């Protein structure tokens, strides 16, 4: 099934090789259209982020997109996914962008590449690498010389790789987006955009169409558009299509109309309701857009998953969950939905739908309950999680100062005095980024949380170890708060006194999960006299056996966490992401089949940060065949609506407009 390719596409690839000089793509301002190979061309595209889908499933998802009648896909390139440390590049495995482009090409899909450097995307720090913050005062997305130097270096690696994949060079990339919604950013630095223009032209040549995307309002286009980039807009269904395109016309009086992000659904935040947008609303506005002869990209066509630690966050601090389902036409797991078929109907009115079978929804399997065992707390495993030992510092250091960018860091200090009565531990400057699990000599004291809980009471004896495990829950991806430092970013106080003399343990949990936590025969030694509470962050392990005698196993599945609170889960060393059923709306995590094996037991490691049922009830997680991503158990009201929400929700409220009156 996965090997099925459209024969036409294969043939075209062969022919192109001999005919490269005929391959052109550009803008015709006379016909208000794109021109491809000398003929007017309009695209209907869909967003898919290769970084949110296992490589194993790229072909399946692309083929489903092709079968929906799309001409093109649009994808972001997350810089921090490819340059995890300054000067260290990774384009292998799930990060093999060139292979992804090749698959799109073989499937008969053109590519609209959103090359960054900033992408937003509900992705950690909007795709910018956290190591940029080593210069604390850096002004991201501006002409700041250190920022620009890093961008130039990265683009000199990325863009030469992309050049052979440009349409005129025989590849699928028809257009390249520079930056993203720059007009929504405070800096409004035209010199920065000019530097990017020079850089992209230098590496990609003069022929390729470079474009920008901004909110559909002159307010955004003012700082987002620049001579030399083609200005496109983004807007939601249900709004006034004519008004939105007239905003684009304020920057581009002639040329093709383009909605670069037509929202098929919407993003989620932990503790808020799951977003759902009805298929009918989207189908209706899509029809209006296409009736205008406009080009459109459906954002997202498939959302996928924020595996590991890749989710971003909005302000006031609201991190996004692991699922990036987005209520898109293809579900997180690539399932065909009603929305898929509704939109395919609309697309079929304008494009010829390809012949052939739509790859079916993959089967999901309910493997059932898996018993887990406590293996030890983070503190008990400290020597294995932090082999180099602690960094000593009078005042706390941030993740970036420790050169650890993701996950967890343990901050330890000794109580300077007897706290026999409840004593206030607080973060007066709201500097716990983002969540801190506090214990004294192994006894849980409470949790501090950014923007939500800045003070707890603790008790303990003078000289006792106070351990504060700080979780980075994802960097802000939108707006002026991109410089999102993690860890304890300001001093903590006990009563009124600043706590000093810290031992700070960088933690390589992902490395330890692969090597020394799972199946380690002897449990870590407990220091005598220290009562250990399993309410403090604790590792649990177990194994999942794939049953024999059933054809086509392993299949995809979802893991459910009955009685668990908040944590992180790995299967065979693959970091599936965060779970937080206590807050929701997401209860289950997607487990793609490619990380499971049937030959030997699959090793599961869970890091539960708060508490499980394990001391009183069955210590189990459960593999089920249906996702639950819409159950908000602890609802936080939306605070001050940011400009971010305002921009997009406003458009939803506007009434509908029939026909097309855009010149
Ligand atoms: C090759 O070029 C000819 C014109 O010289 C054109 O008619 C034909 O469509 C081109 N083929 C492809 C696959 O681009
Ligand atoms: C949509 O916007 C256009 C242009 O601003 C305006 O003329 C028209 O009245 C609007 N339609 C509705 C239904 O509000
Ligand atoms: C803490 O209390 C103990 C008695 O419980 C006492 O021996 C010790 O001196 C006190 N330490 C400080 C720093 O006050
Ligand atoms: C901390 O303890 C004080 C005194 O016992 C009490 O008044 C206060 O409500 C407590 N605060 C919290 C957050 O528990
Ligand atoms: C902590 O307080 C000290 C003394 O006021 C100050 O010098 C230091 O910069 C502060 N550290 C942080 C991380 O805020
Ligand atoms: C752990 O193993 C998994 C599966 O082989 C691999 O994907 C991952 O990169 C490894 N992680 C580390 C930190 O070595
Ligand atoms: C799980 O761990 C055991 C050793 O503890 C190992 O033999 C087995 O191969 C591991 N399973 C996988 C899928 O790596
Ligand atoms: C969650 O989604 C399921 C399946 O679409 C639906 O049956 C259920 O009513 C939804 N629950 C909530 C609370 O919205």
Q: How many Cβ atoms from other residues are within 10 Å of residue 521's Cβ? A: 4
Pocket lining for ligand 8, CB < 6 angstroms: 630-631
Would the CB of 420 count as within 6 Å of ligand 4?
Answer: no
pLDDT tier at 186 (50, 70, 90 boundaries)? very high
Whose alpha carbon is nearest atom 12 of ligand 5? Answer: 490
Give yes or no for residue 529 having a pLDDT over 60: no
Answer positive or negative: Cα dihedral of 487, 493, 498, 503. Answer: negative
Query: 448 CA to middle of ligand 5, Å?
Result: 19
304-320 per-position pLDDT tens digit: 999 999 999 999 999 99
Q: Cα angle at 575 between 334 and 635, to 5 degrees?
A: 75
Whose alpha carbon is nearest atom 6 of ligand 8? Answer: 630
Among the listed residues 603, 443, 436, 597, the one whose alpha carbon sits nearest the alpha carbon of residue 517:
603
Q: In this predicted structure, what is the pLDDT of residue 635?
A: 59
Q: Cα angle at 209 between 208 and 211, to 5 degrees?
A: 140
Would the CB of 462 count as within 6 Å of ligand 3?
Answer: yes
Whose alpha carbon is nearest atom 13 of ligand 2? Answer: 657
Whose alpha carbon is nearest atom 10 of ligand 4? Answer: 457
Q: Where are the beta strands (DSSP E) in 397-555?
A: 408-414, 419-426, 432-433, 435-440, 443-449, 455-460, 465-471, 487-488, 493-494, 497-498, 502-506, 538-544
Q: Are 439 and 445 in contact (CB under 8 A)?
A: yes
| Least confident segment among 89-103, 532-546, 550-564 | 532-546
Query: 481 CA to middle of ligand 1, Å?
Result: 50
Among the listed residues 248, 85, 56, the one whose alpha carbon sits nearest the alpha carbon of residue 153:
85
Among the listed residues 297, 469, 481, the one whose alpha carbon sits nearest the alpha carbon of residue 386:
469
Percentage of the chain lying above the pLDDT 90 cut: 87
Q: In this predicted structure, what is the pLDDT of residue 336?
A: 98
Q: In this predicted structure, what is the pLDDT of residue 516?
A: 72
565-614 per-position pLDDT tens digit: 999 999 999 999 999 999 999 999 999 999 999 999 999 999 999 999 89
Atom of ligand 6 nearest to the CA of 513: 1
Give yes or no for residue 13 having a pLDDT over 90: no
* Euclidean distance between CA atoms 570 and 585, whole angstroms: 21
Ligand nearest to the CA of 448: 4
Question: Which strands make up the sheet holding 368-371, listed edge to edge?
Answer: 368-371, 620-624, 557-560, 589-591
Ligand 8 pocket test, pick from 630, 632, 635 with the greatest ligand atom count within 8 Å of Cβ, gives: 630
Give yes or no for residue 10 having a pLDDT over 50: no
Give yes or no for residue 394 having a pLDDT over 80: yes
Q: In this predicted structure, what is the pLDDT of residue 445?
A: 96
Q: In this predicted structure, what is the pLDDT of residue 371?
A: 97
Atom of ligand 8 nearest to the CA of 626: 4
Would the CB of 457 count as within 6 Å of ligand 4?
Answer: yes
pLDDT tier at 534 (50, 70, 90 boundaries)? low
434-487 per-position pLDDT tens digit: 999 999 999 999 999 999 999 999 999 999 999 999 999 999 999 899 999 999
Q: Quote the mean pLDDT of the chain.
A: 92
Which residues are identified as catalytic? 181, 261
Percentage of the chain lying above the pLDDT 70 cut: 90
Backbone conformation region of residue 651, classed left if phi is above 0, alpha if psi is from -120 to 50, else beta = alpha
Q: Are 322 and 579 in contact (CB under 8 A)?
A: yes
Ligand nearest to the CA of 518: 7
């Amino acid at each position: 099934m996965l090997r099925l390719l459209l024969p036409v596409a294969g043939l075209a690839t062969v022919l192109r090789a001999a005919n490269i000089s005929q391959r052109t793509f550009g803008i015709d301002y006379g016909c208000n259209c794109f021109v491809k190979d000398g003929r007017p061309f309009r695209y209907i595209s869909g967003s898919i982020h290769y970084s949110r889908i296992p490589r194993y499933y790229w072909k399946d998802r692309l083929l489903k997109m092709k079968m929906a009648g799309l001409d093109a896909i649009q994808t972001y390139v997350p810089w921090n996914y490819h340059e995890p440390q300054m000067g260290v590049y990774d384009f292998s495995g799930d990060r093999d962008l060139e292979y992804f482009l090749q698959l799109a090409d073989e499937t008969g899909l053109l590519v609209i590449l959103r090359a960054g450097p900033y992408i937003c995307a509900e992705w950690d720090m909007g795709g910018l690498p956290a190591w940029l913050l080593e210069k604390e005062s850096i002004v991201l997305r501006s002409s700041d010389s250190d920022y620009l130097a890093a961008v130039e270096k990265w683009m000199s690696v990325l863009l030469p790789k992309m050049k052979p994949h440009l349409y005129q060079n025989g590849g699928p990339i028809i257009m390249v987006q520079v930056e993203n919604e720059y007009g929504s950013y405070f800096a409004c630095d035209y010199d920065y955009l000019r530097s990017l223009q020079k850089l992209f032209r230098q590496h990609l040549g003069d022929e390729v169409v470079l474009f920008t995307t901004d909110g559909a309002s002159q307010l955004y286009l003012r700082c987002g558009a620049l001579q030399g980039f083609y200005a496109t807009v983004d807007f939601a269904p249900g709004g006034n299509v004519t008004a939105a395109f007239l905003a684009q016309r304020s920057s581009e009086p002639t040329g093709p109309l383009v909605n670069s992000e037509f929202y098929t659904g919407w993003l989620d935040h932990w503790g808020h309701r799951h977003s759902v947008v009805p298929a009918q609303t989207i189908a209706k506005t899509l029809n209006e857009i296409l009736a205008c002869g406009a080009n459109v990209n459906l954002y997202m066509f498939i959302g996928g998953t924020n595996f590991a630690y890749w989710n971003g966050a909005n302000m006031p601090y609201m991190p996004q969950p692991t699922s990036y389902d987005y209520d898109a036409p293809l579900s997180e797991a690539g399932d065909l939905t009603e929305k898929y078929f509704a939109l395919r109907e609309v697309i079929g009115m304008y494009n010829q739908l390809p012949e052939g079978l739509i790859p079916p929804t993959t089967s999901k399997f309910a493997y059932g309950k898996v018993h887990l065992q406590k293996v030890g707390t983070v503190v008990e495993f400290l020597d294995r999680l932090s082999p180099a030992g602690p960094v000593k510092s009078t005042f706390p250091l941030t993740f970036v100062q420790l050169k650890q960018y993701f996950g967890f860091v343990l901050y330890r200090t000794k109580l300077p005095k007897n706290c026999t009565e409840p004593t206030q531990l607080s973060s007066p400057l709201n500097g716990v980024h983002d969540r801190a699990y506090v214990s004294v000599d192994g006894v849980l004291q409470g949790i501090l949380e950014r923007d939500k809980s800045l003070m707890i009471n603790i008790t303990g004896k003078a000289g006792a170890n106070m351990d504060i495990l700080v979780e980075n829950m994802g960097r802000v991806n939108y707006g002026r708060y991109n410089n999102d430092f993690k860890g304890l970013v300001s001093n903590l106080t006990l009563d009124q006194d600043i706590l000093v003399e810290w031992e700070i343990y960088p933690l390589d949990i992902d490395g330890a999960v692969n090597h020394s936590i799972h199946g380690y025969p002897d449990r870590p030694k407990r220091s005598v006299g220290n009562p250990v509470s399993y309410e403090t962050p604790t590792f649990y392990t177990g194994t999942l056996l794939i049953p024999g005698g059933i054809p086509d196993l392993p299949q995809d599945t979802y893991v459910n966490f009955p009685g668990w609170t908040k944590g992180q889960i790995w299967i065979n060393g693959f970091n599936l992401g965060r779970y937080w059923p206590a807050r929701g709306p997401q209860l289950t995590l997607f487990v793609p089949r490619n990380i499971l094996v049937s030959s030997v037991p699959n090793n599961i490691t869970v890091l539960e940060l708060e508490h499980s049922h394990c001391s009183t009830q069955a210590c189990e997680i459960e593999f089920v065949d249906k996702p639950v991503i819409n159950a908000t158990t602890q609802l936080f009201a939306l605070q001050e609506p940011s400009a971010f929400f305002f921009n997009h929700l406003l458009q939803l409220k506007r009434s509908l407009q029939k026909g097309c009156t855009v010149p």
